């Protein structure tokens, strides 16, 4: 659902904000446990990116909602603290001349983020296939696990939502062009 909302609100940040906020509140109301809410929130947050001003507004609204409902599951407050800590750390690093270390740390962080985004995208494709068609054949699972191109995984996610059969999905995957982006970004 988050993916469809993302497509519909591509150039409409205010609508995306409202839909994202509604999805997040639904997570609370559905009775998910802490781990499930955090995982789903991270996926929604990644998929439905907002401009910085709306992101801050969402964080404030979420913090207020969490406090009001005594449900501090989602890491909005932690994220604000991490951003402040990151800013202080960057300032100290620059002052001490640790530019090289900062660059290496940033590169490693970006690599971890990239790997996590790929993992989530693969899992999302698999989850849709499992929900729609039941058990997914092992060779198909392995093929999806080997894809390191986020654009291709997003295309496959859309196809998994719309394709009539798992066989047609396998055929689409076999006919899909190779990755245009060897870095998977």
Domain boundaries, the chain: 2-85, 99-175
DSSP string, 69-119: HT-TTSTHHHHHHHHHHHHHHHHHHHHTT-HHHHHHHHHHHHHHHHHHHHH
| pLDDT tens-digit map of 119-166 | 999 999 999 999 999 999 999 999 999 999 999 999 999 999 999 999
Residue 184 has pLDDT above 60, yes or no: no
Confidence at 74, pLDDT banded by 50, 70, 90: very low
| pLDDT tens-digit map of 14-46 | 998 898 888 888 877 887 777 787 788 888 888
């Amino acid at each position: 659902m988050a993916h469809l909302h993302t497509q519909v609100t591509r150039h409409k940040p205010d609508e995306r904000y409202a839909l994202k906020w509604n999805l997040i509140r639904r997570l609370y109301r559905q009775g998910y446990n802490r781990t499930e809410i955090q995982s789903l929130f991270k996926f929604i947050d990644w998929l439905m990116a907002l401009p910085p001003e709306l992101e801050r507004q969402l964080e404030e609204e979420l913090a207020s909602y969490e406090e009001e409902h005594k449900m501090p599951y989602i890491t909005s407050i932690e994220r604000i603290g991490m951003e402040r800590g990151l800013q202080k750390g960057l300032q100290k690093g620059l002052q001490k001349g640790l530019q090289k270390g900062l660059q290496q740390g940033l590169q490693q962080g970006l690599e971890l983020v990239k790997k996590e985004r790929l993992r989530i995208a693969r899992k999302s494709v698999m989850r849709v296939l499992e929900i729609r068609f039941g058990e997914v054949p092992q060779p198909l699972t392995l093929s999806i696990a080997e894809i390191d191109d986020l654009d291709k995984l997003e295309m496959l996610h859309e196809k998994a939502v719309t394709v009539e059969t798992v066989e047609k999905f396998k055929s689409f995957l076999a006919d899909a062009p190779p990755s245009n982006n060897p870095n998977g970004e």
